[in-house]
Amino acid sequence: MSLRNKVTLIGYTGKEVEIVNFDNGNIKAIVSLATSDYYTNAKGEKVEETQWHNLIAFGKTAEIFQKYVPKGKEIAIEGKLIYRSYDDKDGVKRYITEIRVDEILLLGGK
């Protein structure tokens, strides 16, 4: 078995899906996903820790996001980590971590 770049997450979308249309007819979907973990701190209090993830999808997967995934929808995704960088308007190099979604499963919720 070979090791590979694979991510699986279950969470809730944090905003409406943003769609980018390309000249060649392809589309890209962009949305944020919140996942939460819970633990008990030293005082015995239950603490929720939320992480936000940037998701991107292309083609048929992007179409599913566009048609069926509103803000607040619970979904499960599988994809891979993508790292990229760019220079902002002030010339400062910025780094972005995204998850390119290959598969999506619509769960409960909205």
pLDDT, residue 52, reads 97
Higher pLDDT among residues 108 and 6, named by residue: 6
Instruction: List, in order of start, the domains of the chain with CATH numbers.
Output: 7-109 (2.40.50.140)
pLDDT at 6 over 70: yes
Side chain identity at residue 77, one-letter code: I
* Alpha carbon distances (Å) from 95 to 52, 59, 83, 85: 15, 25, 7, 4
Q: Which residues share a beta bridge with 33? A: 13, 53
pLDDT at 108 over 80: no
Neighbours of 9 (CB within 10 A): 17
Question: Would you state the structure tokens that stand for residue 64, as one six-digit string?
Answer: 């599913």
pLDDT per position as a tens digit, 14-70: 999 999 999 999 999 999 999 999 999 999 999 999 999 999 999 999 999 999 999
pLDDT at 109 over 80: no
pLDDT, residue 1, reads 62
Model confidence at 107, pLDDT cuts 50, 70, 90, reads very high
pLDDT at 89 over 60: yes
